[in-house]
Every structure is written in structure tokens, then in C-alpha cells.
């Protein structure tokens, strides 16, 4: 039941409404005029959340110039099918909108322009290679995807949505690994700050980012001694798209801090190029000297040239942050006032005490709210007024279990490959073949749409949604604590059942991958490197130049004369590959959905071997008559063809160590004895 509050324009309308409710049918007559206003009867806290959510929804709708957001149960939701804006939508609010209401500085609120012609790669004309749906092709309405619906993304994870940050006091992250994995799997937060990790040097980073190589962990553990036991420690997990770099770590008795920079090179409209995060933990029993040392260390890293964000558990319950007053002398309060920091946490994080705090010297923080707790402290979530970094370009994830193989084979088989490849060289023929086949796969193979929490059951998602709503509405209530405990118990049971299924499956590969995910440190390449001159290198070109300078300074050139270069050969003295050779090679391919440079997995070549043999045979034989190698991936492709051809005709021994491991066609053939593949 949802109580409703109804505002009537006059007493007559009110009496008519009440008489209709109290009457025998129990149903009031409809209002004759539209002056009456009906809404849910909300508490002051709920009403405040409702107003904030509606204001945020209106702002996003005005930016998108269509209805893409709404409000349900005090929470912002995204509509699957956007609608056009009604007349005079948000007209009264538009005049009141200021620059502070924008999601980030420099954002105009207009939709991004279409990509220029220079940004479009030079590929064959899609209209010329698009598969035509003829009578012999069976079409399925479920596989037809609308281009309009595919271009509309969720506003929560779109380019214009802000960067979300999550902070929590964990009180031992060792036993909170399932909760941390659940938060990372939500794809909602790009930065996660944790205090009281209770880790030491014997703990691996897999406790923090196991199974998520896109996140880089930065941590500072407590140095245990006879006087100070376990506890403390901070960690900061940052998505590699933000180019994080560790600046420094600080540890003194019962105080730890970790300083990380995130670089915003992807958004030139911002007035600053980076944001500095300070994750801090101070124990309640920490001596005053440790606090003074911490503040001196922070002062060396704080600057007015870029925003600085301080977040953590400071354990100062007696400070009134609204009036910036304290009954006793407080060095932190003086430090905050001197550096013009603002405190943004407006709710008690533990019982009635304001222990977990958030400071910033710029107006880039918004939407600060309580979140699901990992311990006896409430967690904190907030957004930064900066755009989200662009997503990494990767191969499309296709669901080959629902592929229409009959239509795919028909499109490839009935295409005139002789005419299409006659006037093209090897590289152009290969590019045309790859573009055509990928276009066919995009048409007849539905894309997999990974959603947040895709690895978790639906019941667990429902409990988590209720827990989030209770945390926002009544953060310190008993009902919120009970729901949080219920969610944690359900999550732990799911992880236990998952481990039991893996152990009982008797699958050694699955068991090894699970243990590797939980125990091994992720091999993630740092997204940012500090050069010898202090400059930050974030792009691959900058890193290559820096490494080239380093190796040039370390290694001296040889004193002897350089070796003579071999004379180029433009003709391969090898016989041609036959139709039977290609069929035999494709018939032995394992039907796996593996990732290849040309996004054509082995399952496509295996299921369509009779259809693709004609274009492949033409490309193979053309590669024997030319030595033009334009790109590394095509070079691997052509060299593998030559190696396969040499094995077929016994030109070389059966040593397969020279076979390149990333070739798009013959990589699955590497572990197989080539003498058994061909008659």
C-alpha cells in the first residue's frame, strides 16, 4: 500500500472526493478539473530525495533533448525507449539553471556532433558489401536489430554521465571480498576508496581486484609492531581508463594515507588536467604527533592548480562540521580552514557520529549520499562533475548460439567473389573479405548484451536494490541494518555455492582459473608512467618514445660495421595452394569462440568452411605472388599461410615453434600435429 496525498482546489471538491471514498462502491468519481494534485505521502527525507531525483531527471532530459530518465521510489531510472520532450518541458527551470548545475565544467549540454569523415576508417563501402536478404535467405525477426534502438545508450553509463566514486570503511577487506567484487561488477563506480583494509605484505592484490584486470590497486598497509597490532590500512582502486598514477604513500603510528592522481586527458574542455585523491585512515587512539606528520605530508601534495579530494575515516566525532567548531583544539580543523576545503558528508556515518568525511577544494562533487555498508560504518557515494572516459574499443561480443548459420552460409556462398576480388591485391582482398564477413555476422548473429551483475542471480539483485533504497531513505535504521545483513548473507551463500559447484564439477581448467583469479595478482599494465623529467606519459606513443630514449642511452651501438640487409624478393618460389588443402585445414579447426585480430573466430571458419573456401583460396594464392606487408596483423596472416603451405608440401621440418600465436586462421592448429591434418 502506498499512502497518497491529494490537494483539492476547494472544499466542494474535497467533500465530493471523501463521500465517494466512504460510499458503498468505495471509488471516488473522477475530477472535473485538473487543479487537484495527487502524490505519495512522503516523509521529509523521502520528499527531499524525490525532489533531488526529479531535478536530476529533468536536467538529463534537457541535455538529451528527449525523455530518457524518470523517477521511481526516489531513484533515477532510465527508460528503454526515449520519448520526445513535451511542449514547454522544463521551461520554468531552464531560466534558473546556472553553470553549477552542469554535470562538469565546460559542458554545453548539447548532443555530440557526428564523427567527421577523417575519423572514419578507410574500409570497403558498406553498401557494396552488405548482405542482401534474398528469397533463399531465411530471416528471423528476433535477429533484426534496429539501428535507432542500438544507438541509444543508458544515461547512467553514457558519455555525458559523471564519474561515480564509492567509499567504504571495510574493517578487514579479507572477509569482504564478495561484497567488493559485487561492487566492481556493477560497472557503476570508476573509483573505489577503502579504509581499514587490515592487509599486510603477505596479502596479494587479488583480494582487491581479483578477476577485474581493468582496475588498478593502490594501497598503503599498516606496519605492524609490538605496540601496534593489526588494523588500519587504506586502498584506492581506479579504473585504468582514468590513467591513475601513484604519487606517494604515508604511514605513521596508527595513521595511513595513499595519494593517487587521475588524469583527464580524454576531456580537453575541462579547466584542469588531473584530480588528486587522498585516501586516509586515522585510528581513534592515534597520537597527535602522527596527525601533525600526516598534515605536513598532505600539505606537500596539495595544490591550487587542480582539485584535491580528501576522503577517509578521520575519527573526530566531536567536531561540528556545519559550523567548523570543536570543543578542543583540532589541527585538522585548522588545516581544512587554511586550505579552503569544504566538507560534503551531511549524514552521520556511524550511529550519530560524523567519522567518515569528504573534503574538496573545488566545486566538482555532487550527489553525495549514503550507500550499502561494508561494516558498522555507512558507505559514501558521490559523483564528480567530469565526463566519463570513453570505453575501450573491443571486438563485438556475439552470441553464436543464436546465429542463423543457414543465412550466413547463403550470403557467403552466393556472393560473386571472382568479380569482387579480381581488381584487388592481397591486402585489399583480405580487407574486403574481413569486412564482408563481419557485416554478415553483425546481421545474422545477435550481440551479447552484458548487464551489470550479469554473473549474479536475480534474487540477489532484488535484495541489493532494496538495500540501496533503505540506505538512502533511512540510513541508520534497524530495517536498513537487517536488510544489509540479509544481502551479505545471500551474497556469501552464492559465493559458497559457486565454489562448491566448481570443485564438484571435476573440471581442472575451471578450478585452475578460479584459483588463479583469487590468488594470483592481476597482470595489469600501468596506464600512466612518470618520465625521468617528471612528465606523465599516458598514450602508447609517448611510452614508446620514452622507452626508445632509455634503451638508446643504455646500449651503445656496436663498433663493427652493420650487417648487410638482405635483398628483397617479390616472388615466392612456391607452388599454389589447392582447394583440398584449404578444406582439410578448415575441417580440423576447433569450433571455438576465440578472439582474433580480424574478429572472425574459429567457429565461423569451421561452420562455413564450404562457403569461405573460394575467397580464402584466392587470397592464399595471391599472397604467394606478392610481398606487400602493410600491417602487423596482415603480416601474421600471410606468414602463417606460407608456413602452412610449406608444411603441406614438406618444404620444412615439422618444427612448429615458429608459428605465430596470434594468427587469425591457423592459431588453433598450433598444438596439432600437422602431419595428421592433411592426406
Map out the domains of the chain with their CATH numbers: 1-41 (no CATH), 43-87 (no CATH), 162-387 (3.60.10.10), 416-448+568-679 (no CATH), 458-519 (no CATH)
pLDDT of 676 higher than 90: no
Backbone φ, ψ for residue 236 (5° rounding): -135, 120
129 vs 50 pLDDT, higher one: 50
pLDDT at 565: 59
Give me the sign of the Cα torsion angle 528, 531, 533, 538.
negative
User: What is the chain's mean pLDDT, rounded?
Assistant: 75
Q: Which residue has the cell 550466413?
A: 408
What pLDDT was estimated at residue 154? 34
Strand residues in 419-524 grouped as ranges (E): none
**Cell match 592426406: residue?**
679
3-state SS, residue 82: strand
- Cβ(452)–Cβ(188) below 8 Å: yes
Higher per-residue pLDDT: 628 or 477: 477
Predicted local distance difference test score (pLDDT) of residue 556 = 62
CA neighbours closer than 13 Å in the CB half-sphere of residue 345: 29
The H-or-E segment that residue 212 falls in is none
Question: Between 392 and 419, where is the model more confident?
Answer: 419
Q: What nine digits make up the cell of 280?
A: 586516509
What is the sign of the dihedral through the CA atoms of 17, 18, 21 and 25?
negative
The arithmetic mean of pLDDT across residues 551-565, rounded, is 62
**Amino acid 165: pLDDT:** 96
More confident residue, 621 or 248: 248
d(CA 618, CA 675): 24
**pLDDT value for 661:** 34
Q: Which residue would you say has higher pLDDT here, 504 or 187?
A: 504
Distance between CA atoms of 249 and 417, rounded to whole angstroms?
62
- Cα gap 311→328, rounded to integer Å: 22
Q: What pLDDT shows up at residue 296?
A: 94
Instruction: Give the pTM.
Output: 0.63
Name the least confident of 103-107, 273-277, 491-495, 574-578: 103-107
The pLDDT, as a whole number, for residue 41 is 60
Per-residue pLDDT, 553: 73
β-strand partners of 141: none
Span of 165-174, 498-507, 583-592 with lowest mean pLDDT:
583-592
Type and span of the H or E element at 501: helix 478-504
- The most distant pair of C-alpha atoms in the chain lies apart, rounded to whole Å, by 108
Q: Give percent above pLDDT 70 in the chain.
A: 70
Distance CA 591, CA 594 (A): 9
49-53, 321-325, 519-523: segment of lowest average pLDDT:
519-523
Give me the phi and psi of 263, to 5 degrees please: -105, 135
* 3 state DSSP class of 234: strand
Name, in order, each residue with C-beta under 8 angstroms of 609's C-beta and a sequence gap of 6 or more.
Answer: 583, 586, 587, 589
User: Which H or E run includes 624?
Assistant: none
Pairing of strands 162-169, 75-83: unpaired
| Residues 278, 298 contacting (CB under 8 angstroms) | yes
Picking from 36-40, 145-149, 605-609, which range would have the lowest pLDDT averaged per residue? 145-149
Amino acid at each position: 500500500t502506498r499512502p497518497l496525498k491529494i490537494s483539492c482546489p476547494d472544499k466542494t471538491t474535497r467533500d465530493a472526493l471523501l463521500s465517494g471514498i466512504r460510499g458503498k462502491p468505495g471509488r471516488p468519481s473522477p475530477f472535473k478539473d485538473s487543479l487537484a494534485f495527487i502524490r505519495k505521502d512522503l516523509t521529509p527525507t523521502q520528499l527531499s530525495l524525490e525532489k533531488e531525483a526529479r531535478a536530476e531527471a529533468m536536467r538529463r532530459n534537457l541535455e538529451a533533448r528527449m525523455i530518457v530518465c524518470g523517477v521511481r521510489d526516489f531513484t533515477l531510472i532510465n527508460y528503454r525507449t526515449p520519448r520526445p520532450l513535451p511542449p514547454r518541458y522544463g521551461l520554468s527551470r531552464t531560466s534558473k539553471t546556472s553553470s553549477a548545475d552542469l554535470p562538469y565544467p565546460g559542458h554545453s549540454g548539447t548532443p555530440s556532433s557526428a564523427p567527421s569523415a577523417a575519423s572514419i576508417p578507410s574500409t570497403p563501402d558498406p553498401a557494396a558489401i552488405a548482405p542482401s536478404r534474398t528469397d533463399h535467405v531465411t530471416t528471423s525477426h528476433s535477429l533484426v536489430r534496429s539501428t535507432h534502438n542500438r544507438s541509444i545508450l543508458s544515461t547512467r553509463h553514457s558519455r555525458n554521465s559523471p564519474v561515480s566514486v564509492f567509499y567504504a570503511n571495510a574493517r578487514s577487506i579479507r572477509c569482504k571480498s564478495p561484497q567488493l567484487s559485487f561492487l566492481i561488477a556493477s560497472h557503476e563506480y570508476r573509483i573505489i576508496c577503502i579504509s581499514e583494509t587490515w592487509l599486510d605484505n603477505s596479502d596479494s592484490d587479488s583480494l582487491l581486484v581479483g578477476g577485474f584486470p581493468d582496475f588498478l590497486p593502490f594501497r598503503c598497509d599498516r606496519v605492524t609492531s609490538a605496540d601496534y597490532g593489526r588494523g588500519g590500512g587504506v586502498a584506492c582502486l581506479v579504473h585504468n581508463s582514468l590513467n591513475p598514477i601513484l604519487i606517494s604513500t604515508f604511514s605513521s603510528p596508527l595513521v595511513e594515507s595513499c595519494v593517487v592522481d587521475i588524469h583527464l586527458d580524454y576531456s580537453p574542455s575541462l579547466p584542469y588536467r588531473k584530480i588528486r585523491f587522498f585516501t586516509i585512515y586515522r585510528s581513534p587512539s592515534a597520537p597527535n604527533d602522527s596527525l601533525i606528520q600526516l598534515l605536513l605530508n598532505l600539505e606537500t601534495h596539495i595544490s591550487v592548480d587542480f582539485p584535491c579530494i580528501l576522503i577517509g575515516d578521520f575519527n573526530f566525532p566531536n567536531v561540528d562540521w556545519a559550523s567548523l567548531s570543536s570543543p578542543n583544539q583540532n589541527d585538522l580543523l585548522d588545516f581544512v580552514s587554511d586550505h579552503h576545503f569544504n566538507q560534503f558528508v551531511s549524514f552521520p556515518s556511524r550511529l550519530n557520529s560524523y567519522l567518515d568525511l569528504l573534503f574538496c577544494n573545488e566545486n566538482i562533487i555532487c550527489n553525495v549520499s549514503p550507500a550499502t555498508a561494508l561494516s558498522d560504518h555507512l558507505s559514501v557515494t558521490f559523483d564528480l562533475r567530469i565526463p566519463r572516459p570513453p570505453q575501450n574499443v573491443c571486438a563485438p561480443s556475439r552470441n553464436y548460439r543464436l546465429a542463423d548459420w543457414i543465412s550466413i552460409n547463403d550470403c557467403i556462398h552466393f556472393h560473386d567473389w571472382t568479380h569482387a576480388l579480381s581488381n584487388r591485391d592481397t591486402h585489399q582482398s583480405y580487407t574486403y573479405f574481413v569486412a564482408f564477413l563481419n557485416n554478415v555476422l553483425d546481421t545474422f548473429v545477435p550481440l551479447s548484451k552484458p548487464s551489470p551483475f550479469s554473473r549474479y542471480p536475480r534474487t540477489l539483485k532484488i535484495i541489493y536494490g532494496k538495500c540501496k533504497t533503505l540506505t538512502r531513505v533511512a540510513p541508520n535504521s534497524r530495517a536498513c541494518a537487517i536488510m544489509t545483513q540479509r544481502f551479505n548473507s545471500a551474497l556469501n551463500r552464492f559465493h559458497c555455492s559457486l565454489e562448491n559447484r566448481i570443485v564438484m564439477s571435476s573440471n581442472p581448467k575451471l578450478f585452475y582459473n578460479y584459483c588463479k583469479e583469487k590468488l594470483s595478482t592481476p597482470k595489469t599494465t600501468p596506464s600512466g608512467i612518470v618520465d625521468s623529467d617528471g612528465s606523465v606519459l599516458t598514450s602508447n606513443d609517448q611510452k614508446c618514445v620514452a622507452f626508445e630514449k632509455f634503451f638508446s642511452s643504455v646500449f651503445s651501438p656496436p663498433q663493427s660495421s652493420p650487417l648487410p640487409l638482405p635483398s628483397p624478393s617479390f616472388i615466392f618460389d612456391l607452388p599454389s595452394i589447392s582447394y583440398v588443402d584449404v578444406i582439410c585445414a578448415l575441417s580440423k579447426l576447433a569450433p571455438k569462440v576465440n578472439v582474433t585480430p580480424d574478429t572472425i573466430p574459429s567457429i565461423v571458419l569451421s561452420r562455413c568452411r564450404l562457403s569461405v573456401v573460394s575467397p580464402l583460396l584466392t587470397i592464399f594464392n595471391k599472397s604467394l605472388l606478392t610481398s606487400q606487408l602493410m600491417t602487423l596483423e596482415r603480416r601474421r596472416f600471410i606468414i602463417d599461410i606460407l608456413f602452412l603451405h610449406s608444411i603441406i608440401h614438406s618444404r620444412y621440418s615439422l618444427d612448429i615453434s615458429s608459428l605465430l600465436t596470434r594468427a587469425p586462421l591457423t592459431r588453433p592448429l598450433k598444438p596439432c600435429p600437422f602431419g595428421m591434418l592433411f592426406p
